[in-house]
Amino acid sequence: MGNTRFDFTGQLAVVTGSATGIGKAASEQFADAGASVCLLDIDSENGEAAAAGIREKGGEAEFVFCDVTKSDSVDEAFVQIFSNSRSIDILVNNAGGWTEQQPVCETSEEEWDRIIELNLKSVFLCSRAAVPSIRRKKGGRIINMGSIAGLTATHTNSSPPYMAAKAGVHQLTRLLAAELGSEGIVVNAIAPGTTATERVTVARNAEQRARIGASTMAGRIGEVEDIVGWILFLASPEAGYLIGQTISVNGGRLMV
């Protein structure tokens, strides 16, 4: 993180996909800035460890198991969050990812459905569950994790359902912003370029990462910290007039 200081004292931030990677780092930074954080993930071991790490540093954090692709699991998770009469101030829909890199015609229906549910349906389910609580605060933030993959196409090393899902996330962001903006609920998305999370360093080999990095003006792929600062900014009061936008954070790899 840079030197910018944020203050989320007294606010509750809910971050999905927070056991590792960008979600974990965002949770840690929200807690450092004074927020109480609920970390949602299907990975209980790493999620519990991430929450415990925040508490060890004096922050407030709770891990809540949640399969963001299943409505029952999402509803149960948010009931648990609300059990202490807490209202959500910030929702970060960060859960997502892909596993297979293959052409459209070689993508199975099972893979298509799984990746669409993980990256797009999850945003719908978690936003639907959180909005009534955010409305009670008469304002708040929803930040959705899109991707450069939802803004441009490539015929190599791609996941068709991931690219389609992230394009859907960008459009769902605009729709939510239009529906909720007049109520003081600000909705935006971030579209990172390739970022050196644990998942990406496994899915893309060193040669691929170097090649992608060389295609950016920064000369490297993104680091988790490059993205987390934008999450906190979009949650801050300074971003209150930025509504329904997708912020591209990709080192100049794609300029639109």
Provide the annotated active-site residues: 162
Distance in angstroms (rounded) separating the CA atoms of residues 51 and 49: 5
Mind giving me the DSSP string for 19-37?
SSHHHHHHHHHHHHTT-EE
> If residue 1 lies in a helix (H) or strand (E), which one and from where to where?
none
User: What is the distance, to the nearest Å, from the Cα of residue 168 to the centroid of all Cα atoms in its chain?
Assistant: 14
Distance in angstroms (rounded) separating the CA atoms of residues 125 and 73: 10
Which residues, other chains included, contact 169 with Cβ-Cβ below 8 Å and sequence gap of 6+?
93, 119, 120, 123, 144, 145, 146, 147, 150, 189
Phi, psi of 64 (to 5 degrees): -130, 120
